Amino acid sequence: MFDMLGNILKNLSSKPATRKYPFEKREPFKGTRGQVDIEIDSCIFCGICSKKCPSNAINVSKADKTWDVDHFKCVVCGVCEDVCPKKSIHMKEAYKSSAYSKRVSKYVQVPKPVEIEKQEGTQQ
Amino acid sequence: MIENLFEISKDQLLGEVQNMMYDKYRFVTSTCVDTGDEHLDVTYHFDKDLQLKNYRIRVQRGEEVPSISKIYLCALLVENEMKELFGLNVTNIAIDYGGHMLLSDDELVNPMARQITIEKRGAKKDV
Amino acid sequence: MSKTIIPFGPQHPVLPEPLHLKLVMEDEIIVEAIPAIGYVHRGLEKLTETKEFSQNIFIVERICGICSMMHAMAYCQGIETLMNVQIPDRAKFLRVIWGELHRIHSHLLWLGLLADSFGFESLFMQVWRDREKVMDIMEETAGSRVIISVNAIGGTRRDLSKDSLIKISVIIDEIKEDIKHVEKAFLNDYTVKHRLVGVGVLTKEQAYLFGAVGPMARASGINQDLRTTGYAAYGALDFEAVVETDGDSYARTAVRLKEVYQSIKLIKQAIALLPDGEISVPVKGNPTGEVISRVEQPRGEVLYYLKANGTKNLERLRVRTPTFANIPTLLQMLPGSQLADVPVLLLTIDPCISCTER
């Protein structure tokens, strides 16, 4: 009958196992798959990430130079990060927060225009 | 390939299953595959001491297949599922759910059969 | 003696997933029970026909949240057999480590739910607090808490560093100490024994005839554990199946509790024997043929039937999960028992209804 007594005394004397969330937040672990993010300047718009995505969440348009992801379809599997040839996709560690409507989730990133190289000075 | 696969005809099915029960085999499950040419392949898997033994029959769509739930009662769940999803005509199941075990009234009829395809990438499902 | 029919509805505080039972009763004793499923049918087998075989891993993982890594392992083993791919030894041991961690978390979840079902809520909270340590290990090493996505065709996607291995060893020792404290409450407490001993007896012949698998069969005396066939790295590890002979709910609790200890020993052996090397091999081409692959999940034996015809899409993928085989045993166990024992009996088969209906 007194099997749980040791456990009860230990529980009464130690600090609680829960933390007071929103005032104390836990640091995410390194390598946690939270959300998909891209550095658009290094993307070459090959479209491999779009073909390999299991939930069809990525759309790539080579002509318009846009890359967009639907965060509400994405299952954060990490395949796009593995197959990108230029390694421009990486996983952010924070989980995605809730939103009021699904329209907000899609974002289109247009890259900056490529700078035209200035001609060198006169060459001999 | 699957090892220990025996092709038998529909009439031998009940006899072979009865032999399995006398030899103390455990019924694992049965699998239905729609081969695309109006035939359905039904495979019954049995197991003893972690070795599998499989029997396969080929039936036309709509042909009657006798139920083995009189011999192995645990087969009734999987036979109901095959009847609903593929349209395999299994007769005399011990508890027959009448086509409503998994699907509801306003869903597609026999969704796993080949005539129904889901379009890829973006288009909607069509019947 | 008039008969009444009581619905044990799909929504019930003790069930983790919806399952409907029609109980025909005379006074307080159940005479007949008819199960009805179909509340979570998602049609995943049809969906796998439209995706490529390398994308199917992610669908198959999401059939169930509690045993998700073993589904992916069985699928990957099937495809690797079809394409004649030999995975490196390090990948086999890594799969064993993550698989046994999954088994620990599943059994701890079940122990908590069982304590909740006969009203012992504080024990439920104790066990789930210990389970959080396992979830933290999985998030740190694999990336997510529940659906870990570490399997790939040809090996695994992530590696475990030496620091992670040391950390895993330390934490599972802590879990072992914590479970020792609650084991006494589960197995020796007078009221718990009163609720569990003699309830829902399944003899050895009945368990075999009804096709029971996993801890349900092992608690009735059938000595069958699929891990002894030696898939993945289990051939190199030294263990025995945990078997009890009574066949009632108390025996099933004891089997699952002892399997937690067995998993801890297996992880330690695997960490000690882990070889160096690469974690995956590249895979080219498409699979052809048909194959059956079986794996021991926490709830029993799962069977995968794969048929491929040389294109990128599979022709047929059939999954038979262990709860699908354990549900007909309810037809034998429920008649003759009291109404108040129904939640406990339902939980001892370890129902995972989303696995059953895919």
| Helix axis angle, C162-187 to C89-117, nearest 10° | 30
pLDDT class for B122, splitting at 50, 70, 90? very low
Domains in chain A, start-ordered, CATH in brackets?
A: 35-93+102-112 (3.30.70.3270)
Q: Is the pLDDT of residue B124 over 50?
A: no
- Number of domains present in the structure of chain C: 1
Query: In whole numbers, what is the pLDDT of chain A averaged over residues?
Result: 76
Here the ipTM equals 0.84
The residues near C24 (Cβ < 8 Å, ≥ 6 apart) are C3, C4, C5, C30, C31, C32, C33, C34
How many Cβ contacts (< 8 angstroms) between chains A and C? 48
Higher-pLDDT residue of C306, A98: C306
Half-sphere exposure of C348 (CA within 13 A, CB side): 32
How does pLDDT run across C176-193, given as a tens digit for each residue? 988 888 888 888 888 888
Please say if the pLDDT value at position C253 is more than 50. yes
Chain B residues with beta carbon closer than 8 angstroms to that of C307:
33
pLDDT tier at A115 (50, 70, 90 boundaries)? low
Instruction: Please give the pLDDT value at position A121.
Output: 45
Query: What was the pLDDT predicted at C170?
Result: 92
* Confidence check: pLDDT of C17 > 80: yes
Q: Does the beta-carbon distance from B2 to C209 stay under 8 Å?
A: no
Question: Cβ-count burial of A113 within 10 angstroms (0-12 exposed, 13-18 middle, 19+ buried)?
Answer: exposed
Report yes or no: A48 at the C interface, CB cutoff 8 Å.
no
Tens digit of each residue's pLDDT (9 = 90 or more) over B20-75: 888 888 888 888 888 777 788 888 888 888 888 888 888 888 788 888 888 888 88
Which residues does chain C have within 8 Å of residue B103's beta carbon, measured at their own beta carbons? Answer: 38, 41
Q: Do A4 and C149 touch (CB under 8 A)?
A: no
DSSP bridge pairs for C297: C300
Chain C hits for A27, CB-CB cut-off 8 Å, are none
Q: Could you tell me which residues of chain B have a Cβ less than 8 Å from any Cβ in chain C?
A: 1-2, 24, 26-29, 31, 33-34, 43, 45, 49-50, 52, 54, 72-74, 76-78, 95, 97, 100-104, 111-112, 118, 120
pLDDT of residue A122: 45
Whether residue A51 contacts residue A106, with contact meaning beta carbons closer than 8 Å, is answered with no
Q: What pLDDT shows up at residue B17?
A: 85
Q: What residue numbers bound the domain in which C130 lies?
A: 3-357
Residues 6+ apart with CB under 8 A from B53: B4, B6, B20, B25, B45, B46, B47
Minimal C-alpha gap between C135 and chain B (Å) = 32
**Is the pLDDT reported for residue C264 higher than 60?**
yes
* Chain C residues close to A6, C-beta within 8 Å: 181
Nearest to C113 by CA among C343, C298, C301: C343
Give the pLDDT of residue B115: 60
User: Do residues B90 and B82 lie in contact, with contact meaning Cβ atoms separated by under 8 Å?
Assistant: yes
Q: Are A66 and A50 in contact (CB under 8 A)?
A: no
- Ranges B48-52, B107-111, C242-246: which has the least confidence: B107-111
Residue C253 belongs to domain with CATH number: 1.10.645.10
Residue A106 clears pLDDT 60, i.e. is over it: no
pLDDT of residue C229 exceeding 80, the answer is: yes
Q: Kindly state the average pLDDT of the residues C83-93.
A: 88
Contact B62, B83 (CB under 8 A): no
Question: What is the C-alpha separation between B59 and B78, in angstroms, rounded?
Answer: 17
> Which of A48, A79, A90, A95 to substitute to test the interface with C, most C CBs within 10 Å?
A79
Which of C19, C302, C320, C326 to mutate to probe the B interface, most B CBs <10 Å? C320
The tens digit of pLDDT for each residue in A33-90 reads: 888 888 877 878 888 888 888 888 888 877 777 777 888 888 888 888 888 888 888 8
By the 10 Å C-beta count (0-12 exposed, 13-18 middle, 19+ buried), C169 is classed as middle
Residue A118 has pLDDT above 60, yes or no: no
Pairing of strands B64-66, B51-60: unpaired
Which H/E stretch holds residue C132?
helix C121-142
Look up the pTM and report it: 0.89
